[in-house]
């Protein structure tokens, strides 16, 4: 009696899973370009910030669009990445989400501040008057900045370590995610370099693209 081999089953990703996986690199890529385009990156003080936006309103408009794209995609991307790491590193993954999700959601408040900057810069309001309005902004601006910085920097480090522990992505890509946001913090706070900041967020983008591939090919559905 001749044995008949069972047919090989080929796993195909559903359209919804492909769409979710596609979100992973989109958010970080949007922020990478945003950091390079930000007209007031090195401005010191509110009047200088407003003057920088007045000198480059098109760049500020691009920043607002890119921020909107990031708001729509970063949090869904986090939950998609968590599917790759949660089985092997449940605690690290949980903490990564607990910090990163509120951090990224805080971008909505920061986007409102950028909208106000653009509105003042493109109106007939003087720099002094506009600066007075901006300085009178609600304290949630400062709170959201703190939540964003701590949440996404520490949260992304933990996510990178969780991905490293999972073994489902190459180690280099997990390390790219891990070091990317400390590098972003260094670029922003110490170096004042949008170019280095672009590289930092590009590392997140590349790492998340690899995670997207793992989500489509390795994670049980």
Percentage of residues in the chain having pLDDT higher than 90 = 74
Q: What is the pLDDT of residues 135-177, one digit of tens each?
A: 888 888 899 999 999 999 999 999 999 999 999 999 999 999 9
Average pLDDT over residues 3-31: 72
Would you say residue 98 lies in a domain? yes
Would you say residue 12 lies in a domain? no
Alpha-carbon gap, residue 97 to 170, rounded angstroms: 21
Owning domain of residue 120: 18-217
Alpha-carbon gap, residue 137 to 20, rounded angstroms: 36
Choose among 95, 72, 74, 75: nearest CA to 85.
95
Alpha-carbon gap, residue 80 to 62, rounded angstroms: 27
Q: How many residues does the chain have?
A: 221
Q: What is the pLDDT of residues 60-86, one digit of tens each?
A: 999 999 999 999 999 999 999 999 999
pLDDT of residue 219: 60
Alpha-carbon gap, residue 155 to 173, rounded angstroms: 16
Average pLDDT over residues 164-192: 96
Would you say residue 166 lies in a domain? yes
pLDDT of residue 129: 86
Residue 11 pLDDT more than 90? no
Angle at Cα 35 formed by Cα 31 and Cα 40, nearest 5°? 140
Would you say residue 131 lies in a domain? yes
Average pLDDT over residues 103-121: 93
Q: Looking at per-residue confidence, does 22 or 198 come out higher? A: 198
Under DSSP, the state recorded for 45 is S
Would you say residue 7 lies in a domain? no
Q: How confident is the model at residue 15 (pLDDT cuts 50, 70, 90)?
A: confident
User: Do 144 and 109 contact (CB within 8 A), yes or no?
Assistant: yes
3-state secondary structure of 192: coil
Would you say residue 194 lies in a domain? yes
| Domain total of the chain | 1
Tokens linked to 103: 């951090």
pLDDT of residue 135: 86
pLDDT of residue 165: 96
Residue 10 pLDDT more than 60? no
Q: How confident is the model at residue 134 (pLDDT cuts 50, 70, 90)?
A: confident
Would you say residue 3 lies in a domain? no
Average pLDDT over residues 13-34: 89
Average pLDDT over residues 107-111: 92
**Per-position DSSP letters for 109-154, written without gaps between them:** HHHHHHHHHHHHHTSS--HHHHHHHHHT--THHHHHHHHHHHHHHH
Would you say residue 41 lies in a domain? yes
pLDDT of residue 220: 57
pLDDT of residue 8: 36
pLDDT of residue 1: 41
Residue 28 pLDDT more than 60? yes
Q: What is the mean pLDDT of the chain?
A: 90
Inter-axis angle of helices 57-85 and 90-105, nearest 10? 160
Q: Looking at per-residue confidence, does 12 or 104 come out higher? A: 104
């Amino acid at each position: 009696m001749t044995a008949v081999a069972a047919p090989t089953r080929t796993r195909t990703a559903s359209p919804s899973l492909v769409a979710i996986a596609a979100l992973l690199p989109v958010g970080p890529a949007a922020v990478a370009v945003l950091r390079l385009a930000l007209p007031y990156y090195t401005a010191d003080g509110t009047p200088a910030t407003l003057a920088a936006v007045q000198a480059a309103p098109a760049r500020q408009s691009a920043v607002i669009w890119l921020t909107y794209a990031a708001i729509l995609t970063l949090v869904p991307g986090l939950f998609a990445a968590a599917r790759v790491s949660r089985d092997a590193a449940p605690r690290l993954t949980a903490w990564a989400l607990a910090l990163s999700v509120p951090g990224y959601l805080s971008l909505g408040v920061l986007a409102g501040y950028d909208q106000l900057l653009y509105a003042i810069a493109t109106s007939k309001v003087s720099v002094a008057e506009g600066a007075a309005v901006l300085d009178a902004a609600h304290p949630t601006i400062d709170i959201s900045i703190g939540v964003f910085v701590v949440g996404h920097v520490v949260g992304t480090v933990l996510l990178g370590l969780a991905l490293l522990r999972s073994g489902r992505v190459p180690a280099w890509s997990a390390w790219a995610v891990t070091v990317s946001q400390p590098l972003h913090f260094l670029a922003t706070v110490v170096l004042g370099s949008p170019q280095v900041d672009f590289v930092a967020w590009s590392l997140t983008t590349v790492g998340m693209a690899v995670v997207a591939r793992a989500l489509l090919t390795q994670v049980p559905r």
